[in-house]
Every structure is written in structure tokens, then in C-alpha cells.
Structure 1
């Protein structure tokens, strides 16, 4: 774990320089600056390409939501193992790189720890202003730990709660102890952070990168859903939607840009509406497709799982062949909120909770409210059923499509597989060979990178998978 701080944190960060890795708030070298004012600490939250990045590339690869080129699959052995669901592969041995998912997340957590530990004594601000930044850092730390525990540890169940999860670090000090806590302890810590933050979160964000009150409620709904606590998830979903229940009009977006979108064999880009000002945002964080330009391409068989007439899909990708690769190529450019939280996720959390409680009609009303903003009128029809399983599967399918290229479809699949009632598996045929990812596969938990287990810093780190 010490490697994380020495390699990443003892560097320039938005003009703020730590004087020393061992005690960076004491010695101030000439020409350097340590954080003292509220603006200094708040700058860490604005570090959108560092602290705000949420990279879950191997989860997207396992889900086959991200297209991988023939060249990538030949060169990156871990990517190949996950993409083809090779259960014989030793992914621990293959994960020798400094995986961004792990190191970027802990670098961000260290920055949020620095804020939480020190911002209440910052200068040039009122106590109320300092408490807001403190609460925002608590939210972002909790969100980062949620991503880590749902990537490197088994999913939350009563039976799994005592298993090891990921290292918990609550201090920015290089000498801070690292303890690999249980899954239950990690979820308790996440909820504690959020519950302490919510009373101080503003209703209106300073920027899209700053979590607001709606984000606090929405993230609480996400966490409780992952814990299978549908009563609490529903309560917080309602609170979040009371703060923001807007849905983006993708049908209108398509109609405005259809001439460009529908031009055959043309890959001219249209500006992404999913950036900082996206009406569905609670809070914005860059995801695995965080660089400026086009978002990730998706495989042909994955594209087939979108509904007919889904203009959100049609506006984002177009079939293309380049050499040996045929895939759906991105035709939007700009920013994408793949690491934050949006209203559509909360609509579908609420729909699932209602369906599980037997309120099928109300659940489908919410589901269809979302679908009407995505499906062309000529193709649209309400989903109607009185069967709980049918309703839930419709909600799950829509959610996987809506939140593609985020961690959530992967986290949901793990949750449903652990529950066992609505398991999720995958199958495909490539090159005449059939590949299958079962609901019970060990591959649903990712291995820690070797650098982390071999150099865990001030603690110990045990792998959560055998391979």
C-alpha cells in the first residue's frame, strides 16, 4: 500500500505540493505550497482526471460490454482471460501491472482522507463552508470504497459478510495503518461516512464534481440495494427523486441530430449530452471512458440486447468494420458520467424495490416512464405484466442497457447471482467456439494486482480469489 502514496501522492496536484512523503504538512520547501485555505483543500475535489476517475476496465471486459480488438486480446493476457471467460487462467499471475482500478482509487481516497482530516481547520472560510467540503469528501471516499469492494471482494450477502474485502485506510499519512476489513465492516464504514455527510450536503452543487444532497440519497439507495435491503433502498430512492427526478429526452436528441446519426457509413460525431450539465446527474465522475473524444466501442452481440427503437443506443454507436474487427463504434464526443450517479439509476432502483414488494403496476409505471424517453414512438409499447419475475427481468435488462460501461451492471449481476433467484449468465459464439460465463463462476470477483499483495505497506493483504 505504501507504493500507492510514494508513486502517486507525492507529486503535484493542482498546484498543491506535499513537502515530504513522511510528514508533508510540516516542511514547506521554497516555491512549494501546502494546503491551508478552504480553496486549497477543495481543489482536490476538482481534480477530475485524478481523484474523480473511476476505472473498472476488467469488469466491463468480463461483462463483454466493452469491445476488445483482436490485437488487444492477443497482447493483454488478463483482458483475454476475462473477455473469453477462461476459468482455467490464473488471473492472479496475469494481473502483474499496476492496475488503475486499485491505485487510482486509493490515490483518490488518500486525497479525500487529507480533506476529512484537515479541512475543518482550514482558513479563509466559514465553519459552514468548511463542513460542506468535509461532507463532499466523505461522500467521495464512500463511493470509492463501494467501487473497490464491489470489484475485488465477493458481493454482500449475510453468508459472505464475514469474508475479507479490501484495505481500509482513513488517514492520508504515509504511515497510516492498512487493515483488510471484512465485507460487513466495509459496508458499515461506507454507510457511516454517508450518514455523517448527508446533513451537510448542499441541495445545489458547486460544480458537477461536488456531490449534493440528491447524490447522498441516491448513493444510499445504491448501497442498500447492493445489501439486499429493499426497504431502505426504496426510502432513499424516494428522497433522491424528490431532489431531482428529471430524465433526458433522448428521443428529442435523436430527432434533432438524426440527419447526422442516420447517414450511412458516416462516423461524424455529435456532442455528448452526458457531460457536466446532463439533466440526470446527481454527481459527475469520469469512468473507464474518461478521456475526451469518443466513448468505448461495444461488441455486436452486446448491441443486439438493446430494445428495437432505442435511440439512446442509436445515437451513441454505429456498426463499423476495420480490418478483422467488426463492432459498434462510438459516434458521440465529449464527456460521459460513467462513475457518478444519475436519476435513471434511481428510477430503476425504486422500480426493483416496488416489484420485489409485489407492487408490480407501480414498478412498471416507473420503468415505462424511463423507456418513453428512450424508445421511438413507432417502436414503443408499455411493458405490462402481473408476473413479478417478468417485471423484474424487464427492469434488470433496461438497467443493464442504461448503465452500460459503468460498474453497476457488474455489481448487479454479482448481487443477483449471489441471491440465486434471478441469476445472470452470459454465452457467446466466436470463431465457431461457444464460450460461457456461469452465474457461479469465480471470475465475478477480480484479483488484486500483484504489486498490491507483494507490497501492502503498513498492513497485510490477502487475495480474495484462488485464480
Structure 2
């Protein structure tokens, strides 16, 4: 199975004679179009660029999912990985690239470049009553995609957000223009998150409630990403506010009793819970990966997620099949179930156990066999929080959310986790708050940009 696809093959945009290409080995921060080709100038051109789903909705950054502990590999499977990069990511090695590039970085900054082309181009559009709605929608989409890519890069290449050190901790490169001559420098963590919040706040005010396609951004999608961002910052009041705003527009949940647990893929792509569709890069380790036994065994026998999410391999192992992304791809987008859990966690953290459990039970009722669900109770907000985080682990697995959750929750001794994996008798561990929760930049990125390397 091919795990990575050259951007010159999958990343092309062809719109009304426009062709933007990017070399697999060019600096992803400085990808630029062939100036001899037609430059996008109309709203139709810009919408066409944003509808390039192969570039903008596929190949979401997924290194975080490799390291998050949702799956394990047998030693034979680990040895069979054709790319040493994946082998090293799996064991949280200090040096992971072996001279290769950071594919996640390339993919994300290609998306950022395309959105900057759109945002720069929109400044030349004459706005009037006839085009105002389309202009707002297109600008909102571009801001959303840029913010999403920046957020994903922050989870992999910047330190976890800590309010006490965020103004001095190194963040990521903020590319806010398509000008290839702009110098690449690292912002602080605070500046990184401020930019993400700014983009999403503006996007939420521009986007429609209901997108034409789920591969396009929407107001509830922007609010959902704002909630995820604030949650990663441990800004729980704002995370609650954004989750609530998203759910006020779309609070649909799937009744798992209506699904076929024997199907190859019980959960369909573009289902009613999806707010924004993105799938992660299909690394080979995902294909060979087996679900963590402690995760599978954490589901109650009447919890339908156990049979909807996992297929029994008949040898005591389980494989994940519950993606909202379709086919073999892991879903990396946004969905309403996450917003129920975000809001529930935030309610619990502000001392409102009743509202927290109301959201949790609304979700779980749709996940248990009809007639078997017993509403969750709690002795108080702290007990409710513990139970909500447990359900978050079970509901949002294999979505590249766990890594971000670990980074923030490890800062609280009550919820800190040490990850471990064993290969051929050797055990590898990732303690809480370890520097390896921040991935290094590949050597080519350092050479091309001169940015400071992350400590490992």
C-alpha cells in the first residue's frame, strides 16, 4: 500500500486554465505557482481552488496519531514498514526522519499557501450587493482551512499551550501571505494560537450555517474548531461558548442502533454528525495497526461502539473500522459528538455537573443498545469530569485528537498518562510532558528556512 503521494501528482489544481503545482522536494513554505500560467482572479477561480478536495481535505497531518497510543504493531508488522520514519515515530525516537522530509509539514503548508493565494486575491475583488455573500463565504472558507492547518502544525511542532510560558515558547511558522519572499520565522506559542483564534473568529462570522458540501467550512464547523482550539489551551469558558454555538446550529447525533455492525464500514462518510470532512494521511502503520486492548476492553458489552468501531480478527486482536472518513482513511475532521463532549467537559470544569451529565448522557444514549442504557451519574463535578474524559477516550479514538488531549491533560497530575509500546522484548515509553510530545523539524526544513530546531 502506498502511504505518501507526491504533491505533483495529487496536489494539482486545474481551474479555468489555472495550474498550481508543488514539487515533492521544494520548500513547502515557499510553494509558488508557475507565473506563466493563468493567475486566479475571480470568485469562481477562488472557490474552485478551495474545492480541490484532494489537496485541502485529504492527507491531513497524522504523525500525532502514530504516537497517540490508540493502536499497536506486532514486531513483524513494525519491521515490515517500508519507511524508517514511521518506525521511529512509533517508538517516539528522538531522531525520526533519517534524512527524509516531514510529510505532515509539507501537506499542511501547501494548504496554507493555497488559502493565502485566495486571501491575497480577494483583496483585489470589488465587492457589491451581488457578490457579497459569495465573497464572505469564500473568505471564511480560506480562513478556516488556514487556521485548521496552523492548529494541526501547532499540535505536532510546538510545545503544548501553557499560559505561563506561551509568550516565550516557540510556536510554528505563521505564513499569512502567498508572497514567497516573506521570511520564514517561528512565532511564539501565544502568537500561534492568537492567529488561529483570530482566523476562526472571523471565519465564523462570514460562513453559512449549512455548507453546500461537507468538504467546505461552515459556521458550526468554525465554532467547533474554535472549541477544539480553546480546549487545547485549557481555556474552558471559551471552549464551552464555542461548542455551544456549534451545537445550536447542528446538534445531530447518529443512533447506532440503526447501523449494521457486521458491515465492513458501519459508519458512512458525510454522515449527519460530520461538520467538516477531512481524512488523515494513510500511513502504513495505520493499515497494520491493531487496536489497543485496553481501549477495546473499556467498552461495556451493551455499548455499540465496541462492534461499530472494531472488527474481531478471531485471534484475540481487533482492528479499527469505525472511521467517519470512509474506506481505510482515518477521519480527521470535525463532528457533533466531539462538541457534546467538549461542552460536557467544560460544564464539569466550571462546577455544573448536572449540565455536564446531560450532554454526556444525550450522546451515550445514542451509542447503547436500545433499552440497555443506564444514565451516567456522578457524585460531583470532579467525578463527572473523570467519567467524561473516559468517554472522550472511547468516542474520539483514531481521529488525531488523542495526542492533543494528552498534551493538555498531562499537565494535570490527575489525568497524566505514560504511554508504552513493546517490540521484540524491548519496551519504549513516553512519560507525561516529555519533550518528545513536540516533533522535530526535518533537516531540509531547517536548511531551507533557518528556523530553530525543537529540543528532543
Q: TM-score, normalised by structure 1?
A: 0.83
Instruction: Give 2:122's aligned residue.
Output: 119
Q: Answer whether contact 1:284 1:337 (CA < 8 A) is retained.
A: no
Instruction: Give 2:310's aligned residue.
Output: 317
Instruction: Give 2:411's aligned residue.
Output: 418
- Equivalent residue runs for 1:246-285 within 5 Å: 246-253=252-259, 257-258=260-261, 261=262, 269-270=264-265, 272-273=267-268, 275-276=269-270, 278-285=271-278
CA shift in 2, pair 1:270/1:216, >3 Å: closer
**Structure 1 residue 46, shift from structure 2 partner:** 1.6
* Distance in 2 between residues matched to 1:428 and 1:169, nearest whole Å: 36
For the aligned residue pairs, the C-alpha RMSD in angstroms reads 3.3
Instruction: Give 1:204's aligned residue.
Output: 210
**Structure 1 residue 78, shift from structure 2 partner:** 4.2
Instruction: Give 1:328's aligned residue.
Output: 319
Q: Secondary structure at the match of 1:121?
A: coil
Q: Answer whether contact 1:147 1:407 (CA < 8 A) is retained.
A: no
* Distance in 1 between residues matched to 2:223 and 2:303, nearest whole Å: 29
> How big is each residue's C-alpha offset from its partner over 1:424-457, in whole Å with a ceiling of 9 and x where there is no partner?
333466666655432132222211222211222x
Q: TM-score, normalised by structure 2?
A: 0.85
CA shift in 2, pair 1:247/1:23, >3 Å: closer
Instruction: Give 1:13's aligned residue.
Output: 13
Moved more, 37-46 or 50-59: 50-59
* Distance in 2 between residues matched to 1:335 and 1:70, nearest whole Å: 22
**Structure 1 residue 390, shift from structure 2 partner:** 2.6
One of 435, 438, 452 as aligned partner of 1:462: 452
Instruction: Name structure 2 gaps, 5 residues minimum.
Output: 1-5, 23-29
1:366 paired with 2:373, answer no
**Structure 1 residue 201, shift from structure 2 partner:** 0.8
Instruction: Give 2:221's aligned residue.
Output: 215
* Distance in 2 between residues matched to 1:127 and 1:25, nearest whole Å: 30
**Structure 1 residue 165, shift from structure 2 partner:** 1.2
**Structure 1 residue 301, shift from structure 2 partner:** 4.1
- Equivalent residue runs for 1:395-410 within 5 Å: 395-410=388-403
CA shift in 2, pair 1:448/1:8, >3 Å: farther
Q: Answer whether contact 1:120 1:127 (CA < 8 A) is retained.
A: no
Q: Answer whether contact 1:426 1:437 (CA < 8 A) is retained.
A: yes
Instruction: Give 2:39's aligned residue.
Output: 34
Instruction: Give 2:142's aligned residue.
Output: 137
CA shift in 2, pair 1:58/1:95, >3 Å: farther
Instruction: Name structure 1 gaps, 5 residues minimum.
Output: 1-5, 262-267
Q: Answer whether contact 1:18 1:34 (CA < 8 A) is retained.
A: no
CA shift in 2, pair 1:329/1:227, >3 Å: closer
* Distance in 1 between residues matched to 2:163 and 2:181, nearest whole Å: 33
CA shift in 2, pair 1:288/1:321, >3 Å: farther
* Distance in 1 between residues matched to 2:54 and 2:353, nearest whole Å: 41
**Structure 1 residue 26, shift from structure 2 partner:** 5.2
* Distance in 2 between residues matched to 1:296 and 1:40, nearest whole Å: 41
Q: Answer whether contact 1:154 1:165 (CA < 8 A) is retained.
A: yes
**Structure 1 residue 159, shift from structure 2 partner:** 2.7
Q: Answer whether contact 1:220 1:236 (CA < 8 A) is retained.
A: yes
- Equivalent residue runs for 1:2-401 within 5 Å: 12-15=12-15, 16-18=18-20, 24=33, 27-28=36-37, 33-74=38-79, 75=81, 76-85=83-92, 89-92=93-96, 94=97, 96-122=99-125, 126-161=131-166, 162-253=168-259, 257-258=260-261, 261=262, 269-270=264-265, 272-273=267-268, 275-276=269-270, 278-289=271-282, 298-320=291-313, 326-328=317-319, 330=321, 334=327, 338-377=331-370, 379-401=372-394
One of 435, 438, 449 as aligned partner of 1:442: 435
Aligned length: 434
Q: Answer whether contact 2:136 2:206 (CA < 8 A) is retained.
A: yes
